[in-house]
Homo-oligomer: A and B are copies of this chain.
Amino acid sequence: MALMLRAALGQMEVAPGRPDINTKTMLEMMEAARQRKAHMIIFPEMAIPGYLLGDTWEQPGFLRDCENYGRAVIEASRGICVLFGNVAVDWSKTGDDGRVRKYNAFFVAGNGRLHGEDNFPYPFRIKTLHPNYRLFDDTRHFYSLRKLALELGKRVDELLQPVNLEIAGEKISLGCILCEDGWSDDYSVKPIQEICSNGPVDLLVNISSSPFTLGKNNKRNRVFAGQAGKTGVPLVYVNNVGIQNNGKTVYTFDGFSTVYSGKGEVLHHCAPFRQALEVVEINLFRDGDCSPGVMPPDDRGAASIYQAVSYGTERFLRSTGIERVVVGLSGGIDSAVGAALYTRVLGPGNVLLVNMPSKFNSLTTRNLSMKLAGNLDCLYTVMPIQESVDYTVEQLSRTPVTDLRGGKEFNLTIAPLVMENIQARDRSARVLAGIAAAFGGGFTCNANKSEMTVGYTTLYGDLAGFFACLADLWKHQVYQLAEYLNEQVFQREVIPRGIIDIVPSAELSFDQAVDQGKGDPIIYPYHDYLFRAFMEHWNRATPEDILKWYAEGLLEEKIGCKPGLVKSIFAGPAEFIADLERWWRQYTGMGVAKRIQAPPVLAVSRRAYGFDHREAQNGVYYTSEYVRLKSSLLGD
């Protein structure tokens, strides 16, 4: 007995919230797969509705619509077996919220009918493990197999049965799992093991809607290859491409659909970030004689960052219908990288670069801006802001305020920091927003993750914009991306060396004069890593941990910055602690308030600001252990 299964991987681009578009894509791919003599076509999890839809799941009209489109796919399954994800609704039951019961479901159809009801309460399979960390929200909307088992008074493993069907005259048994079901390490239930022990299983199929994060595909390959090798069952993983968002955070989906042999080798993988229909032959029942494995690419470096950021930006523009953008050009690294990226995505004729000097902007950065614009061949203009800023300062400080309780008048005073922020808002909310509207497009937010962490930005100023495509990159990653753009993407120095080499500065006062080497208060080679420990570490560090590591001499190792750095920056514990508290205060204080009103962030890392990093405006807190440690270090 042997079957060379021709399986088509339907690595489709899913349009979230658009069952009409997605069904059209699926029907087209099914037809193409049929022509290529595939036995089976596999689509991603939630292929019909999309996965990240906010609370759209609460609209019964939308659910009925998804059901209808799902029926169309099932009806079109003549001559091919189709596996796909959709929401399944049990209108006779409710979820824990009292709304109609919804499942994140795996459908197996062939010749117009569904398979699997012989050994399961429904004619589809449902997700067992619902991720509820990071951006994931499955438990909010869907009823899991764990809850169903509890309700039915059954054991979870009783419900984890393979789906039996016949293909090309052979009976085969599918282990159908949905995304997180394949990542069971931290759960008490292990779906793959359970299904296999209810087997035998001939093929494991994991349909996913799995967002890209830097280095995640390396991990997928380790985990899935391990599962195939351990069970001895070939495994097909199908993931979608495209972008999806939950408002504040925008995720790219890399696809990277992959077939693993029962020995745990990668037999085939689709290219990332590209819709693809690929037919792969999988030797079922006799896994020995398959072709040698292929090596999937490493997905950790600058190339992956560029790929995700440019793909995500292009798709975000497309989905919001923005065809032209305005980028405020300061002569610094962030806006330069933003300008180069958008030019690459939209073409130079759709990118308007605006330099907005005040009296604090050096000739150096003004020239660098002009040079960058020239290298990119974009639309370019210079709109000085000094007159307008002077007018505002004059108006605010000269217009009397009346105290109506007694009729006395007084005047407001504009302090230097207030003036800095007036400049930043003048640039964004007055000039850029106005130009963008006149130009018929949006203006970009060029903030990076280091600034976002500590709110080193002005609300309605440089934090404004329709999209923050660099805001999940630490400053050192922005530099990496700049080098990559020059060397690999444009293959010439579009971002002038001077912009890469100059000290990072906001140039909002003479204290930030770049030509005197003055700039930002953030020491990126250290603070990038300190901030990362605050927000990205799975077990998030607080000042208590940082201070303990500092006292033990373990800090650089623990946060991953260059050895010897801490001693070279801080004279002693007093300076170290003052710096630590300064940034912790910013991160948990004003930083939160600013992020609440920040633009959508494009996710790259394992933890992006927004829906993946939920936070309350609760102010600054130090644990009692921190207070004790600090006191002992300072010798109080």
Contacts and interface: CB of A to CB of B under 8 A. Distances in A.
A422 interface: yes
A421 B429 CA distance: 10
A104 interface: no
Contacts of A396: 383, 431, 434-435, 438
Interface stretch (A208-216, A229-237, A291-299, A386-394): A386-394
A59 B379 contact: no
Contacts of A64: 623, 625
Interface stretch (A3-11, A16-24, A29-37, A75-83): A16-24
Interface in A343-380: 348-349, 352, 373-374, 376-380
A488 interface: no
Given A247-B592, A434-B396, A96 B129 contact: yes
Interface in A154-168: 156
A614 B626 CA distance: 36
Interface stretch (A217-225, A253-261, A412-420): A412-420
Given A99-B133, A379-B402, A381-B401, 11 more contacts: A17-B619, A54-B614, A97-B132, A247-B615, A250-B617, A319-B618, A377-B404, A387-B391, A395-B431, A428-B460, A597-B598
Given A391-B387, A624-B65, A439 B412 contact: yes
Interface of A: 16-18, 20, 50, 52-56, 58-62, 64-65, 68-69, 94-100, 129, 131-133, 137, 139-140, 146-147, 150-151, 156, 185-189, 244-248, 250, 319-320, 348-349, 352, 373-374, 376-383, 387-388, 391-393, 395-397, 399-405, 412-415, 417-418, 421-422, 425-426, 428-431, 433-435, 437-439, 459-461, 464, 466, 538-545, 592-593, 595-600, 611, 613-619, 621, 623-626
Given A247-B592, A388-B388, A597-B597, A399 B382 contact: yes
B422 A596 contact: no
A98 B50 CA distance: 27
A414 B189 CA distance: 61
B425 A616 contact: no
For the complex of A and B, 4 pairs with smallest distance between CB atoms: A429-B429, A54-B615, A98-B186, A97-B133
A17 B616 contact: yes
Listed residue (A50, A349, A434, A595) with the most chain B CB atoms within 10 angstroms of its CB:
A434
Contacts of A100: 539
Contacts of A382: 399
Given A401-B352, A460-B460, A245 B617 contact: yes
Listed residue (A99, A376, A543, A624) with the most chain B CB atoms within 10 angstroms of its CB:
A624
Nearest to A376: B404
A564 to B, nearest CB: 26
Given A247-B592, A599-B596, A438 B425 contact: no
Contacts of A52: 616
Given A62-B542, A624-B65, A349 B405 contact: yes
A599 B187 CA distance: 38
Given A61-B623, A434-B392, A132 B96 contact: yes
6 contacts: A54-B613, A61-B545, A99-B538, A247-B617, A379-B402, A466-B593
A100 B600 CA distance: 30
B399 A392 contact: no
Contact of A412 (B17, B417, B438): B438
Contacts of A466: 593
Contacts of A417: 437
